[in-house]
Amino acid sequence: MTSQQFLVYLSLCVVCVLTKPTDKKDRVHHDPQLSDKVHDDAQNFDYDHDAFLGTDEAKTFDQLTPEESKERLGKIVSKIDEDKDGFVTVEELKDWIKFAQKRWIYEDVERQWKGHDLNEDGLISWEEYKNATYGYILDDPDPDDGFNYKQMMMRDERRFKMADKDGDLIATKEEFTAFLHPEEYDYMKDIVVQETMEDIDKNRDGVIDLEEYIGDMYSHDGDAEEPEWVKTEREQFVEFRDKNRDGKMDKEETKDWILPSDYDHAEAEARHLVYESDQNKDGKLTREEIVDKYDLFVGSQATDFGEALVRHDEF
């Protein structure tokens, strides 16, 4: 068994081991919060730094001199300006913030890319992915672990074909990202809903009834009484999930449940940053306008020290 195949097996085992009967399984895909800090620019710009850079990267800027922070910020501006017209729009800034917040996704793709691009041509074909992930496991008609790898492979192939926009069964890095993280792409959301319904719909009637909904989250396992959160979920199903009150969730109702239309925090933050930095009020930012307000976008030793002084004075 290769290391890649072992990881597939191990990940499935971990899911089985860690899912306790009283644990609540959360299938809802939410955008992560931009920062766990309070957004109060009158006190500090910590929230803005986390939002603009991502929490981990924001910490590295706190160790830089103001000059170093400005230099690195200037390089970031060049990346944000996607159309290279010399201006950063709200839309470009929003896209950057979303990228910064989900950098872990792209790092995950980079790690997996190296293990699947077997011929190192900068593309990953379905055959490459299948061979690297499943390999000779598929030749064993009765695997010891009991998993149906052929069914898993068919599901992966269906998702791969959905991610592969041009239908050549060869994925670019963007298409491979959509394959690994379909919830991040609008054109992949139908497959997320389909896979979720297949997991929960035990009687294969094409919809999710109340008991299937609860059964996916909770197993009685001999318990005499359900936990309070299970009772709440029953109420949620009846009052909110089942919108047409027919006793079951169809595809659209399932989509509304697992892929809710959240408030766009990234767009709100982008508009805030533009408003605070746009000196000539033309609705977009130049590199100079951003660097002039560098302490709003990124930290440095100076801003970190200044915030420490404020906290000390308050204490």
Say what the pLDDT of residue 315 is. 33
- In this prediction, residue 314 has a pLDDT band, given cuts at 50, 70 and 90, of very low
pLDDT at 312 over 60: no
Strand, helix or coil for residue 132: helix
pLDDT at 146 over 90: no
Q: Which long-range contacts (CB under 8 A, 24 or more apart) does 164-169 make?
A: 164/126, 169/125, 169/126, 169/127
End-to-end CA distance of the chain: 59
Q: Phi then psi for 249, rounded to 5 degrees?
A: -105, 125
Count other C-beta atoms under 10 Å from residue 218's C-beta.
20
Phi-psi region of 222 (alpha: psi -120 to 50; beta: other; left: phi over 0): left
Q: Give the percent of the chain with pLDDT over 70.
A: 84
pLDDT digits (tens, 9 = 90+) for 40-80: 999 999 999 999 999 989 999 989 999 999 999 999 999 99
Count other C-beta atoms under 10 Å from residue 295's C-beta.
18
pLDDT at 19 over 90: no
pLDDT digits (tens, 9 = 90+) for 154-177: 999 999 999 999 999 999 999 999
Strand, helix or coil for residue 23: coil
- The residue type found at 36 is D
pLDDT digits (tens, 9 = 90+) for 87-143: 999 999 999 999 999 888 999 999 999 999 989 999 999 999 998 888 877 666 566
Q: Phi then psi for 124, rounded to 5 degrees?
A: -125, 115
Tell me what the mean pLDDT of segment 22-27 comes to.
Answer: 66
- Is residue 184 within 8 Å of 259, Cβ to Cβ? no
| Residues composing the chain | 315
- The residue type found at 6 is F
pLDDT at 3 over 80: no
Stretch among 160-174, 274-288, 300-314 having the lowest mean pLDDT: 300-314
Say what the pLDDT of residue 13 is. 46
- In this prediction, residue 32 has a pLDDT band, given cuts at 50, 70 and 90, of confident
Instruction: Name, of 16-25, 139-148, 216-225, the range with top average pLDDT.
Output: 216-225
- Give the C-alpha separation, 111 to 105, whole Å: 10
Say what the pLDDT of residue 223 is. 67
- For residue 123, CA distances in Å to 111, 117, 131, 166 come to 14, 6, 15, 13
pLDDT at 303 over 70: no
